[in-house]
Structures are given as C-alpha cells and as structure tokens.
Amino acid sequence: MNKKTLSHASSWLFLYPFLFAVYLVLELSFKFDFAFSTLGRSLAIVLLFVGLCMIGFYKLERSWERAAFVTTLLFFILFYYGLFYGVAWKWRIGEFRIGRHEILFPLWVVLLSFLGSRWAWRHFRAPQLITTFLSVTIVIAMIFSAGRYGVRRLAGASVLPAQPAAISLQHDEEVKLAGATLPDIYYIIPDSYARADVLERFFGFDNADFLTALRERGFYIADESRSNYVQTALSLASSLNMDYLEATPADAGDRDALEQLLRHSKVRQSLAEMGYRVIAFESGYPITELGDADVYLHSTDYLNVNAVEGLLLINSAAVIAMDKGWLSVPVAGRANFTQVQYALKQLPEVAQLPGPKFVFMHIVAPHPPFNVTRTGSFMAPLSPDFGSLDGDGRSGSPEVYVSGYIEKLLYTNQRLLTAVDAILDQSETPPVIIIQGDHGSGMLWSVNSMAETCMWERAAIFNAYYLPVAGLDRLYPTITPVNTFRVIFDTVFESHLGTLEDLTYYSSWQRPYQFTDVTALTDSPCAVPEN
C-alpha cells in the first residue's frame, strides 16, 4: 500500500476518537448489563467532548489526523485515568508507595502529553499508519466487546424462559393471613453483618455490648444463625419469599428474574393485601431497592447521575475528587456514606408515620466501602481495594479490612440502637423488628470459587428478633432467614406455614442459580488470615 492510498484511506478514519468514546460507554454497559436507555446522556457527553476537541485542535494544527490523535490522547488522560489508577495504585518502590494520585496522575499526563507532542508526531515515520492502526484497533475492540456481550446474553436466554418468573421458588404455598391487631414490621438488613463468634475470632472484636443492649430491650439473638445463600440478592429473595430458590442450568446468569422475586415477594404482597403500607429506603444496590414502595426514602446529597454516568466518572480523572471526598456519585464510596447515614438517621422518624407499615431497609454496612468512623465522620476508604466484591481477589491486607469493617460496624451499631429505641418508644402496638445480616463478612469469600471461600465466615450472620412472646418461643439458635417470616406470619397472623430445614447454599457470581449445599461446611472455623 503506497502513501497516496494510505492518505486516501485515512482521510475518513480520523473519526476514530468518536469510536473510542462510544466504546468506553458501551463497554461499561455490556460489562454491567445496563439498559441501553440509560446511555443517552453519557454518550452525548463524551461525543460532545470529542467533537469540541477535534474542532479546537484542527484550528490549531490544520490537520484532521493530528487533531484526531491529540483528541484521543486527551480523552485517555481525562476519561481513562481511573482505569490506570485501578491497576497502578499498589505500585511501590521499597516502602515508598508511588501508587498515589499525587504521583500517578502527573505521570499519566506527562506520558500521554509526550506522545501527543509535536516533536513525537514529527518523528513518527508514517502518521497515516498510526491513524489506520488506531481506527482498525477500536473497530475490532468494539466488535469483540459486542460479540462477547451477545454470546453471554444468548447463553442466558438459552437456559432461561422468556418470563422472569422462571427463576422460581421450590414450593408454591398460598399464604393466608388473619389478625385483628396489625403491628408495624421492620425488616432491617445490615449488609455483611457477621455473627459474634466470627467477629471475635476473625476480627478480634467483642460485640457483647451491642448484643446485651438488644437483649435488655427484649430481643432474641439467634447466636448460631446462618444465611441461606452467600449473595445478597439470593438471600433476600429467599427470605422475602419464605422459600428456597429453584436451581436453573449452570450458565444462567440473568438477574432480572431475581429482581422480580424481590420486588413482588410473597411477604410484600401478603402484607399489602392486609392493608400494610410499604416503606423502603434507597440502598445504593439497585436490585434491592423497592422504588415503587408506597413511601420511598432516599438522599439527594450527591451528584444526580445514573449508574452508567457514575462508573464513567469513576473510570475518569474525577476519581481523584471522589477519593478526596470532594465529589459524591451514587456508585462511589462517598455516596454509600451518604446513603447509610441518611437511612440510619431517618429510620427513627419512620416510626412516627401512621401504620400499619412494613419497613424494608437494606443498608450497605458494615460491608465495604469502609468510609465511616465509629463516630460517624467520613473517611476516605482505607484501601481502594475493597468494594462491592468484598475481599475477593483483592490485594489489600486483612489488617485494612478488619480496621475498616469494625469502624463501620461500631457506627452501625450505635445508630441501630438509637432507631430501635425510637421505634419501641413511638409504637402504640408492640412492633416486630428484625435486624438480620444477608450474609456474613467477606474477608475469605471468593465470588467464583467455592474452594477458596470460608463458608463459616461467609454464612455466619447476625440475626436478632423482637417479636411477641409467642413468636419468641418459636425461635431457636440456628434459625435461618428463610424461616424468619414463616415464624412471624404463624405467630402474628395465625398462618400455618411451619418451618423449613435450615440449609446454606453456595453459588458463584457467574452462575448464581447453580446451588451447592454447603451446610456441612458452615460449622468449620477457618484459619485467621495473616496480614
């Protein structure tokens, strides 16, 4: 191919900066299964940015090829820095950590600026080749990304029927409730709240003060309780439907059906039929948010962006402002801090709302990110290493995990006690209050490896009940969440559901509905990880 041919071919290929921008947004959508309807504003922002840069650099350089190249480098500087930081933050030279924004961002800027300098451009042997190479590369990347997404969706569709209800329950029991007095029911789920023996062995922390305070208020603590599943959505879908989930083929990974089981659970529908209002809180974890509740409470104290836009910001240089606490978006640590604080402070106020009411509150605490002190002050996460996947596959030390977890736990304990006191004080009819972990802590949890997961840690949950006396008599130390509302409904509403066998299942993140019974493994303590 001669230079004339290359020049002619590249005369339109200079549009590749737009493809790099589109690729970033689409890749986020493909990776996290966001609906395409949520991408419009993100695409508009990145395309407008690229367009303005292209025009500006063309006026300076009088070359579309040069303008395209510099625009692409600037786009990488601003929109890809977060990805670079996610890889490089742990770099060290001896004891000196160079993986800090103060060092990495200038290094990132200098490196890419050099590649875009006039000196470097003049010394490229064939700028047209660069244009062609970058254009072909991004087209191949987009095709590969779209193909991978398509294969994954087709694989899911091949094993899942068209209707979300295909992920079903093991039993099809009809729930009939009766009862003249309707107590308020509070279902509070502090995410990853570990059982007392795990806290003592793994974290060196004695939770006796909190347990004693609850017992003094009339709570029953199921001190040998386990979760039925090791993932939040699976666990809550089971507890709110009072049943185990029906397994589906191993390749099924679509969570839309799971969201339907949560949003239209047997518990919610049964209580609504009896006249209960549903009051729900924003969690920051969309699958557990009942946005269609009668009363939906959420904070507005963070940047109003959707999940795609939030991830776009996290992957960009804006991550610097987020880590410093200057900027808060829904999927970042500062927003989680805001959401948890809002929910825990608002919960006592909810007690004043007229009943009967079913209050559902899932809070991402003491689950990472570890962003709050025991006194309620914001702190930058102790490590960028711990997030939605807990401790899985992370290089952060157990010491960091323990420190951050306990600080967030102590804050959660204090606010929960305040809320409990307000609820008990303001309830005309004695309420039903459940404070229950969805699963245990995750220091030794692997999202895709059962062999690398400590089932004793992951399944051991905090589980506390405030019930009428007759209900307390039905409780036992090893009760699991699948039986929680069975006991409540049988006690309060004279149903005849009985209880199911208390079992625990592991499933991977990739194949959430391929369940393995790990009940026998949950009684075997694991070795404490070394720092």
Q: Quote the CA–CA distance of 244 and 262 in Å, as a whole number.
A: 13
DSSP state letter for 138: H
Residue percentage of the chain with pLDDT more than 90: 37
Q: What is the per-residue pLDDT for 327? A: 64
Q: Mean pLDDT throughout 465-473?
A: 89
What does DSSP say about strands 220-221 and 463-466: parallel, antiparallel, or unpaired?
A: antiparallel
Tell me the backbone φ, ψ of residue 358, rounded to 5 degrees.
-110, 115
Question: What confidence category does residue 158 fall into, taking pLDDT thresholds of 50, 70 and 90?
Answer: very low
Q: What is the per-residue pLDDT for 156? A: 43
Q: What is the per-residue pLDDT for 180? A: 65
Q: Mean pLDDT throughout 331-339?
A: 69
Q: What is the CA 284 to chain-centroid distance, rounded?
A: 7
Tell me the backbone φ, ψ of residue 296, rounded to 5 degrees.
-120, 120
Q: What is the per-residue pLDDT for 302? A: 56
Enclosing H/E stretch for 134: helix 127-159
Q: Mean pLDDT throughout 300-315?
A: 66
Q: DSSP of 412-448, one letter per residue? A: HHHHHHHHHHHHHHH-SSPPEEEEE-SS---TT--SS
What does DSSP say about strands 357-363 and 463-466: parallel, antiparallel, or unpaired?
A: unpaired
Q: Quote the CA–CA distance of 518 and 480 in Å, as a whole number.
A: 14
Phi-psi category of residue 195: left, alpha or beta, with phi > 0 → left and psi -120 to 50 → alpha: beta
Instruction: Give the range among 81-95, 97-111, 326-340, 366-380 with minimum mean pLDDT.
Output: 326-340
Question: What confidence category does residue 143 fall into, taking pLDDT thresholds of 50, 70 and 90?
Answer: confident
Tokens of 31: 């990776």
Average pLDDT over the chain, rounded to whole? 82
Q: Name the one residue in this structure whose structure tokens are 């989930």.
A: 245
Task: Please check whether residue 472 is in contact with residue 491, taking contact to mean a CB–CB distance below 8 angstroms.
Answer: no
Q: Mean pLDDT throughout 180-185?
A: 86
* Closest alpha carbon to 278 in 343, 349, 355, 347: 355
Question: What confidence category does residue 441 fall into, taking pLDDT thresholds of 50, 70 and 90?
Answer: very high
> Three-class SS of residue 310?
helix
Q: What is the per-residue pLDDT for 166? A: 46
Question: What confidence category does residue 280 fall into, taking pLDDT thresholds of 50, 70 and 90?
Answer: very high
Judge residue 143's burial from the number of C-beta atoms within 10 Å of its C-beta, 0-12 exposed, 13-18 middle, 19 or more buried: exposed
Q: Name the one residue in this structure whose structure tokens are 């518990």.
A: 267
Q: What is the per-residue pLDDT for 289? A: 86
Q: What is the per-residue pLDDT for 239? A: 97
Q: Quote the CA–CA distance of 3 and 171 in Å, as a whole number.
A: 71
Q: What is the per-residue pLDDT for 161? A: 32
Helices (H), 160-207: 196-203
* Segment 215-254, tens digit of pLDDT: 999 999 999 999 999 999 999 999 999 999 987 765 566 6
463 against 378, higher pLDDT = 463
Q: Quote the CA–CA distance of 287 and 267 in Å, as a whole number.
A: 17
* Segment 189-216, tens digit of pLDDT: 999 999 999 999 989 999 999 999 999 9
Helices (H), 243-381: 256-263, 266-273, 307-314, 319-323, 333-350
- Taking the whole predicted model, whether its pTM rises above 0.95 is answered as no
Q: Residue 442 pLDDT > 70, yes or no?
A: yes
Angle between helices 307-314 and 16-32 (to 10 degrees): 120
Question: What confidence category does residue 8 fall into, taking pLDDT thresholds of 50, 70 and 90?
Answer: very low
Residue 305, amino acid: V
What does DSSP say about strands 432-436 and 185-190: parallel, antiparallel, or unpaired?
A: parallel
* CA atoms within a 13 Å half-sphere pointing along the CA-CB vector of 421: 9
Domain ranges (residues) in the chain: 3-159, 164-242+266-431+439-446+467-523
Q: Residue 278 pLDDT > 80, yes or no?
A: yes
Tokens of 477: 């130390």
Residue percentage of the chain with pLDDT more than 70: 78
DSSP state letter for 163: S
Rg of the chain, C-alpha, whole Å:
26
User: Furthest-apart CA pair in the chain: how many Å?
Assistant: 89
Q: Residue 75 pLDDT > 60, yes or no?
A: yes
Residue 139, amino acid: V
Q: Residue 340 pLDDT > 80, yes or no?
A: yes
Task: Please check whether residue 267 is in contact with residue 236, taking contact to mean a CB–CB distance below 8 angstroms.
Answer: no
Task: Please check whether residue 311 is in contact with residue 32, taking contact to mean a CB–CB distance below 8 angstroms.
Answer: yes
